[in-house]
């Protein structure tokens, strides 16, 4: 299902120019483009997330949710 996503820029909604592209997709695409060929360990990723939260404490909850989601990805498959 394709559609135009709406994001909030400040308090004003604005439409994205590309269908089905979230604002956060830009950062994900940049990450994939710049570092997509690299191999990393989850130990390295965990350390980077800790550093990011230390520098940006307002993002503690979203980072915690992401880390928990990544840690539990296989749980649904184990229940079947």
Q: Where are the domains of the chain?
A: 1-37, 40-80
On whether the CB atoms of residues 22 and 5 are closer than 8 A, the answer is: yes
Residue pointed to by tokens 């997330």? 49
**pLDDT score at 79:** 57
Q: What angle is formed at CA 21 by the lines to CA 68 and CA 29, rounded to 5 degrees? A: 65
On whether the CB atoms of residues 16 and 4 are closer than 8 A, the answer is: yes
Q: Please state the pTM of the whole predicted model.
A: 0.62
Q: What b/e string do you get for 7-22 counting C-beta neighbours within 10 Å, with b at 16 or more?
A: eeeeeeeeeeeeeeee
Band of residue 77 on the pLDDT scale cut at 50, 70, 90: low
Give per-residue pLDDT as tens, 9-65.
444 444 445 555 566 688 889 999 999 999 999 999 999 999 999 999 999 999 999
């Amino acid at each position: 299902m394709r559609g135009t996503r709406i994001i909030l820029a400040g308090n004003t909604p604005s439409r994205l120019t590309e269908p089905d592209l979230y604002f956060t997709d830009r950062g994900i695409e940049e990450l994939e483009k710049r570092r997509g060929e690299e191999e990393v360990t989850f130990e390295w990723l965990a350390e980077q997330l800790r550093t990011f939260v230390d520098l940006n404490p307002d993002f503690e909850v979203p980072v915690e949710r992401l880390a928990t989601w990544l840690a539990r990805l296989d749980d649904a498959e184990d229940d079947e």
